[in-house]
Structure 1
Amino acid sequence: MKRTDSTGGFTLLELVIALSITSLILVFIGSAFYMGYRSEERASEREGLQQRIRIINERLTWLLRGAYPFVRVSPEGNTLYFFGKKDSIGFVTTSTLSGSALEERAGLTFMKIFLDDG
């Protein structure tokens, strides 16, 4: 027996297979975009951290370049104005940070720098 009323369309099985393949392709494309977005986000975070580290390094280098071995002479003995601990440092310097209130005052300045874990 031969079917004569064929409309030339797709069968239900063909539609299900086509939709499944399309869904898989869309999932792969979405995953690729998401991974690219996350990668760019992490790179941006790293770049910001590196920028902050560079700025801190430049400022510390500037201050330490102007470090001066200032010694206070007193009857009790000589005192060198320098100290260093694991989370702080203090020293006398001729350099000041640009834009700070100390910039207008020339001369020796005692700087105390702390490490902030936050």
Structure 2
Amino acid sequence: MGVLMALGTCALVFFFNPAQHGFYPRCFLFELTGLFCPGCGGLRSAHQLFHGHVLTALQFNALFVLSLPVLAMWAAQKVLGRGAVPAAKPVRSFRLVWLALAIAAVFTVLRNLPAFAWLAP
């Protein structure tokens, strides 16, 4: 069921550009504060990736694009099982969570600073 929902969502993002269609959810943080969250531009980035526009996707959300290989490995391990996908050296999961949160926090702060406006979607 989850795989079907993921495929349906991917098809929706592929066929309907989030930059041109208003039925996609708006970012709550941006609506309230005018600040970009780490996910802002992620749907637009995904749409561009689906159409082969990697540089444009990076401009919308570099963190999303650069994290895709890690997320793909994690998802493959969850769907196919641990033995089916080669895994890196085991690391305690709480360390990875804290590392991901730290990276997202730094990315969020930087993309809202004038000197790093190129990170904003």
- TM more than 0.5: no
Q: TM-score, normalised by structure 2?
A: 0.24
The structure richer in strand per residue is 1
Q: TM-score, normalised by structure 1?
A: 0.25
Greater relative contact order (CA < 8 Å, ≥ 6 in sequence): 2
